Amino acid sequence: MLTRLRFKRDFRLIVRCLADKPSDGDGKIPESKPKPAEPQKSSDNATERIQELLKLMMAEPKIKESEYKDKFASAPVIQRKKRSDEIEVKTEKIEESITKAAGEVAQALGGDVKQTEAELLSRVLGKINQTSTTLSDLLVGMKIDRSKEPEERQKKPETRGQQVKRLTSQTKSEAQQTRYSQRKGRSADGEQKREGRDERSRRPSPLTPTSVTTVNIFSGEPLGIFRAKESNHGTKLEVWESLQQRELTLATSQPPVNYFQKMALWTEQGKIWKFPIDNEQGLEEEQNVHFSEHIFLDSHLEGWCPKKGPIRHFMELVCVGLSKNAFYTVKEKKDHIMWYKEYFESKKDLLAEVGAWDHQSTSAEAKQS
């Protein structure tokens, strides 16, 4: 328990030291296991150190690799990292086999064997470096990436305090400065406020007054192609034009904004009466028919109906009824009367027998007229 605590305190101290240099790439590794790169820690710049490390790797890749693995074996174990390590090993194996295969192919092809192999490998591995063929040379760049990555990942579970330090140290100074200065300006009297505002409104358009060129759109030189003469628009397409008109009304139509507009819209769609109200609207068929033709229907009886008697009486009643009907057209009324005519004529014999149809009188009538 006690050791753990001391350990913790140590840890805290170290972490604090580290936190002072936020971009320090080493994270917490030195504490868990002393590392060969430790003495370099005193060097002022982290990037410099990384570069030195890189140089080291480039110079003697073999040693670096073993050391690299060594470090991994003893580093604080994190599940995810281990997995990534496995993948790396696997890929390395694949790369080795690819290199081997490429070498064999190059041998088979003959000629400049090294060049061919390099080309093949660069194809596969996407390396630009075409002359060197050793695997480690090809993989040097990758290794550097890897060595950096776990370090960064280790840094992740840092404490909130460290996070804060790191985050704020970058932004705090300037952010606070601006905010406080803003605040100062605002809390001061209104004139300063105005000023601040003016500054702000000027800021997005620093060039406004000077750089805008006013162009008169009518200042151009005419092309001189056309000469004014009587207009001739050539062939006319009626449907096309009506469709163009339709598109135009569509483009400019809007939902009505008050009831009158709504009514106007409905009127245009033919849903309500047109103003001024005309109760014969839409009755175009009867437009030119005089009202007397609707009312005085007796003339249709002339020529076939007996002058007197029950049939005449009946037909006159029919005419009165029809003359009051507002829903039939004149033609329909006439057809109605003619239907009775045909009916009575088909029953002529019976009617004559009864005495209701005075055959002679009607025929005489017909002759007279």
The DSSP annotation for 80-105 comes to HHHHHHHHHHHHHHHHHHHHHHHHHH
Which is nearer to another protein, 150 or 306 (by Cβ)? 150
Residue 321 per-residue DSSP state: H
Which is nearer to another protein, 55 or 236 (by Cβ)? 236
Per-residue x/- marks for another protein, 180-209, CB under 8 A? --xx--xx-----x--xx--xx--xx-xx-
The DSSP annotation for 262-310 comes to HHHHHHHHT-SPPSSP-TTTT-GGGTT--HHHHH--GGGGTTTS-SSSH
Does the footprint of another protein cover residue 224 (CB under 8 A)? yes
Residue 316, CA distances (Å) to 217, 313, 320, 357 in order: 82, 5, 6, 15
**Count of alpha carbons within 13 Å of 216, Cβ hemisphere only?**
4
Q: Binder to another protein among 156, 239, 288, 368 (CB under 8 A)? A: 239
Does the footprint of another protein cover residue 261 (CB under 8 A)? yes
Does the footprint of another protein cover residue 343 (CB under 8 A)? no
Does the footprint of another protein cover residue 291 (CB under 8 A)? no
The distance of closest approach from Cβ of residue 191 to another protein in the complex, given in angstroms and rounded to an integer, is 13
How deeply is 297 buried, as exposed, middle or buried, from its count of CB atoms within 10 A (0-12, 13-18, 19+)? buried
Which is nearer to another protein, 107 or 192 (by Cβ)? 192
Q: Binder to another protein among 191, 270, 287, 369 (CB under 8 A)? A: 270
Find, among 25, 27, 23, 22, the residue nearest to 11 by Cα: 27
Does the footprint of another protein cover residue 324 (CB under 8 A)? no
Q: Binder to another protein among 55, 80, 156, 227 (CB under 8 A)? A: 227
Which is nearer to another protein, 221 or 353 (by Cβ)? 221
Which is nearer to another protein, 136 or 162 (by Cβ)? 162
The distance of closest approach from Cβ of residue 28 to another protein in the complex, given in angstroms and rounded to an integer, is 11
Find, among 151, 131, 123, 148, the residue nearest to 57 by Cα: 148
Q: For residues 17 and 57, what is the distance between their CA atoms, to the nearest angstrom?
A: 27
Which is nearer to another protein, 1 or 59 (by Cβ)? 1
SS3 label, residue 187: helix
Which is nearer to another protein, 97 or 168 (by Cβ)? 168
Does the footprint of another protein cover residue 9 (CB under 8 A)? yes
Within residues 33-72, the interface with another protein by CB under 8 A covers none
Q: Binder to another protein among 110, 255, 291, 353 (CB under 8 A)? A: 255
Does the footprint of another protein cover residue 77 (CB under 8 A)? no
Contacts of 176 (CB under 8 A, 6+ apart): none
Which is nearer to another protein, 44 or 230 (by Cβ)? 230
65, two tokens: 């690799």
Q: For residues 31 and 7, what is the distance between their CA atoms, to the nearest angstrom?
A: 10
Does the footprint of another protein cover residue 32 (CB under 8 A)? no
351, two tokens: 């009617």
Per-residue x/- marks for another protein, 82-121, CB under 8 A? ----------------------------------------
Does the footprint of another protein cover residue 13 (CB under 8 A)? yes
The distance of closest approach from Cβ of residue 205 to another protein in the complex, given in angstroms and rounded to an integer, is 4
Determine the interface stretch with another protein among 5-13, 39-47, 59-67, 73-81 (rule: CB under 8 A): 5-13
Question: How many residues in total does the chain contain?
Answer: 369
Which is nearer to another protein, 131 or 279 (by Cβ)? 279
Within residues 141-160, the interface with another protein by CB under 8 A covers 157, 159-160
Which is nearer to another protein, 91 or 267 (by Cβ)? 267
Whether the Cβ atoms of residue 2 and residue 10 lie closer than 8 Å to each other:
no
Q: For residues 332 and 321, what is the distance between their CA atoms, to the nearest angstrom?
A: 13
> Count of CB atoms within 10 A of residue 227's CB?
5
